[in-house]
Amino acid sequence: MRSHRSEPSTGFRLPKPGTVQIAPSILSADFSRLADEIALIESAGLTVVHLDVMDGHFVPNITVGPPVIAKLRRHSRLVFDTHLMISEPGRYLASFVEAGADHVTFHIEVEDDPLELIDRIHCLGRTAGICLNPETPVSSIEHVAPRCDMVLVMTVRPGFGGQTFMPEAAKKVAEVRRLVGPDVRIEVDGGIDSTTTPIVVGYGADTLVAGNAIFGQQDRLAAIEAIRAAARQIA
């Protein structure tokens, strides 16, 4: 029997499962003009932007923190899908929520009491997600995933954009879908483009994080439409 999933008390709700969403990752965006990059996403009719938060400890890179997110929040109504690739997510949770995070995903690999952290996220009125690295088995989240609003499957090793898609890691999406059923979103991050989109959507993913495939292209709008078209082949 699937465990009861707590609902966030206020604020952001994820789009209904079954609708494929593209969540562009600002990791690959032009950081000198982030507000413009986010405005472009909105002009394409997208509703979610993926914020990669890295601490240089859990992953070998350092990116943005609450101050940058707070500044971006002033310029956008997009859902801030905040992916904490950090060693102590609970320690900084309130800061990210105060900065404007709508959804918070953390890694199962770093948290001793993930259920408690999920409850804290929900109590702050935000949706909660759990993330799996490529080498981490789905069995590690069996007791956690049904309490989440979204599960994130990494199809590259986290830390840097522009990496090559890992087909074996993507197969875990189908396993996660069997675990959580239709009411929890499944997000995939790593090497997502118009070629790999049909693969992960076919496995059951409905939220696609694309960084270099969008922001690495001269025509961002055409790149977004190419991923949309690829998703429609399956959805």
Please report, as a single letter, which amino acid is at residue 108.
I
Output the CA angle 7-9-12, nearest 5 degrees: 85
d(CA 96, CA 219): 31
* Bridge partner residues of 130 (DSSP): 106, 151
Residues belonging to the active site? 52, 189
Please report, as a single letter, which amino acid is at residue 235.
A
Q: Quick check: 99 and 74 in contact, CB under 8 A?
A: no
State the pairing for strand pair 127-132/48-54.
unpaired
d(CA 233, CA 1): 33
Within 13 Å of residue 152, how many CA atoms lie on the same side as its CB? 29
